[in-house]
Structure 1
Amino acid sequence: MEQTTPSIISPDIPADAQKQVSTLKLGVLASGSGTNFEALVQAIADGKLRAEIPILIYNKPGAAVAARAQRWGIPAMLIDHRKYQSREAFDFDIAQTLSQYGVEWVVMAGWMRRITEVLLDRYPDRIINIHPSLLPSFPGLHAVEQALKSGVKITGCTVHIARLTVDSGPILIQAAVPILPNDTPETLHARIQVQEHEIFPRGIQIAAMQAR
């Protein structure tokens, strides 16, 4: 029988890892529905991630993630990228806002914008991204579709430190997801998302442990 159980690829984390780091102040950037954002909020509520989220920034008016933030009582701010003449100016205002809320780590939870040196220099090695493939395979847009078209049997998701080159930074944790014979982009993406919600808070915890 074909193996269909996802596997998580991660460095060992001490059982008392949560007690070894202070409460992280996370600023979340999101562009869409916000399922990964809500997974982080739930992990915090469940005591699986020792953190707080003082601010969510989203860049698309009407993005569903804003409603999720409202339900959890988390401040959400729209910073519309279409109103800026450059990516650098956009990132400058994001960095200023994050600083005003005392953010220590930046988490890109479905953030569909390339970041610049402006944000990277403000938060060196403290910007974390999640991507729906086993990097370095299938970086960039449409990763799920890329995997299906390639004919590979396994794909997955990756939490990594962000760098200027898209999806190129140091890997924190990955989860492998087998591709089934009848998979469509929708069915495969749904199974990958389940694993994203599992590894995202763990990846943040790993990054905090490594930064100690």
Structure 2
Amino acid sequence: MSRKKCLAVFASGTGSNFEAIVTACEQGKIPAETVALVCDKPSARVVERASRHGVKSFTFDPKSFASKVEMETVIADFLDENGVDLVCLAGYMRIISDTLLSRYDGKIINIHPSLLPAFPGARAVEQAMEYGVKVFGVTIHYVDRTVDGGRIIAQRAVPYEGNDIDELFGLIHAVEHELYPETIARLLSV
């Protein structure tokens, strides 16, 4: 019998997508176990969520490292030590560089709150609203050396014609919490 696949989630904030992934693993909807959280903000709410689920956390202050290469080497070593098969970025607000990409090439995915290639980078939802789009969305893609430019794995539209940014974020998060676990499960089942 083969071992269960191991996931690491990288997050920087509240961790609602982390929670959706961990819960889906616990319920058997994702054929894997979430074994690690990587968080660049030690006081972020996601750290408490990880503790509640018994997920090992690696938290750090990026300024404590001499370089990004050093920081990502330590992170990659942590991933290796925990047997991580797939890295899922979920609100991790740092650009992944060659150090981590070279060790986990093709094994890092990200979720983004727009229908890429439209509105890459930070503030995607706000930019889309300012532009006046009527269909927002969520994209899951492989991470490569571009910002939100990796090969698209899945997308789902979120129609919205209002002007309440909080309401829109709520709709987008609801889609994220369904689409990300579904996509991870599909990737691991191939």
Alignment of 1:65-80 (within 5 A): 65-80=46-61
Aligned to 1:203: 183
Aligned to 2:101: 120
Aligned to 2:130: 149
Letter in 1 for 2:166: E
Alignment of 1:130-209 (within 5 A): 130-181=111-162, 183-209=163-189
- Which residues of structure 1 form unaligned runs of 5+? 1-20
Separation in 1, partners of 2:97, 2:131? 30
Structure 1 ranges of 4+ moved more than 4 A: none
- With over 3 angstroms needed to count, the CA separation of the structure-2 counterparts of 1:197 and 1:22, relative to structure 1, is farther
Aligned to 1:5: none
Secondary structure, aligned partner of 1:136:
coil
Letter in 2 for 1:203: T
Contact 1:30 1:109 in 2 (8 A): yes
Contact 1:160 1:203 in 2 (8 A): no
1:113-140 C-alpha deviation (Å, 9 max, x unpaired): 0000111110110001000001111000
Deviation (angstroms), 1:80: 1.7
Query: Percent identical across equivalent pairs?
Result: 43
Contact 1:132 1:143 in 2 (8 A): yes
TM-score scaled by length of structure 1 = 0.85
Q: Aligned residue pairs: how many? A: 189
Deviation (angstroms), 1:22: 6.4
Contact 1:87 1:115 in 2 (8 A): no
Question: Are residue 108 (structure 1) and residue 86 (structure 2) matched?
Answer: no
Contact 1:127 1:161 in 2 (8 A): yes
TM-score scaled by length of structure 2 = 0.94
Deviation (angstroms), 1:73: 1.2
1:82-132 C-alpha deviation (Å, 9 max, x unpaired): 212322221111101111111111111110000001111101100010000
Letter in 1 for 2:42: P
Question: Are residue 48 (structure 1) and residue 29 (structure 2) matched?
Answer: yes
Contact 2:29 2:185 in 1 (8 A): no
Given candidates 33, 37, 45, the residue that maps to 2:18 is 37
Deviation (angstroms), 1:188: 0.8
Separation in 1, partners of 2:71, 2:129? 34
Deviation (angstroms), 1:195: 0.3
